[in-house]
């Protein structure tokens, strides 16, 4: 029996809502990727060149620490990873997540929320840092106020309908 994990990082709660709808739609388990040091509103001020998020996003080697590891990652066949788009790509903590586990033999798909930009080269960026040889399924940019039908359509396209 196939088992799905919906892992997500959400700084403002928008991506969390989309992740919850996604987990419900596919019957997957939900895991929040929490930074060891939570982000403050000042950390997220993208207009401040010295804010934590700006500094991290300008440093391709930055890897913010994750508070807790996924228990039983080896038991999941499919991992859906959600995040907001920051500076036209995934936040660096998603790279931390992908480097923290061996994804060999698993299917991975990403979903993102954004205030204005698309996925762009995000999937290729993440595939380059992913540990292990995973099969990557097509990702999707989903609106913050996503309808269940939109999530269901994407999951159907990647053959992850609720069983």
- Residue 101's domain comprises 4-158
> What are 128's two structure tokens?
């380059």
> What are 37's two structure tokens?
């040091």
Residue 146 lies in a domain: yes
Helices (H), 3-82: 14-26, 52-57
pLDDT digits (tens, 9 = 90+) for 32-66: 999 999 999 999 998 999 999 999 999 999 999 99
Distance CA 34, CA 23 (A): 17
Return the CATH number at 131.
Answer: 3.40.50.360
Note the pTM of the prediction, 2 decimals: 0.95
Residue 163 lies in a domain: no
pLDDT digits (tens, 9 = 90+) for 93-145: 999 999 999 999 999 999 999 988 889 899 999 999 999 999 999 999 999 99
Residue 135 lies in a domain: yes
Helices (H), 28-91: 52-57
């Amino acid at each position: 029996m196939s088992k799905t994990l919906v892992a997500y990082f959400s700084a403002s709660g928008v991506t969390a809502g989309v992740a919850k709808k996604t987990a419900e739609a596919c019957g997957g388990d939900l895991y929040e990727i929490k930074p060891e040091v939570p982000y403050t509103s000042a950390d997220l001020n993208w207009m401040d060149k010295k804010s934590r998020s700006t500094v991290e996003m300008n440093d391709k080697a930055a890897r913010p620490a994750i508070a807790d590891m996924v228990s039983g990652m080896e038991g999941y066949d499919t991992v859906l990873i959600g995040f907001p788009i920051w500076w036209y790509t995934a936040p660096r903590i998603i790279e931390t997540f992908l480097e923290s586990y061996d994804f060999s033999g698993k299917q991975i798909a990403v979903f993102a929320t954004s205030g204005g930009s698309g996925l762009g080269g995000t999937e290729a960026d993440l595939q380059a840092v992913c540990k292990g040889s995973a099969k990557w399924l097509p990702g999707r940019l989903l609106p913050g106020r996503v309808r269940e039908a939109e999530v269901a359509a994407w999951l159907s396209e990647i053959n992850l309908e609720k069983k």
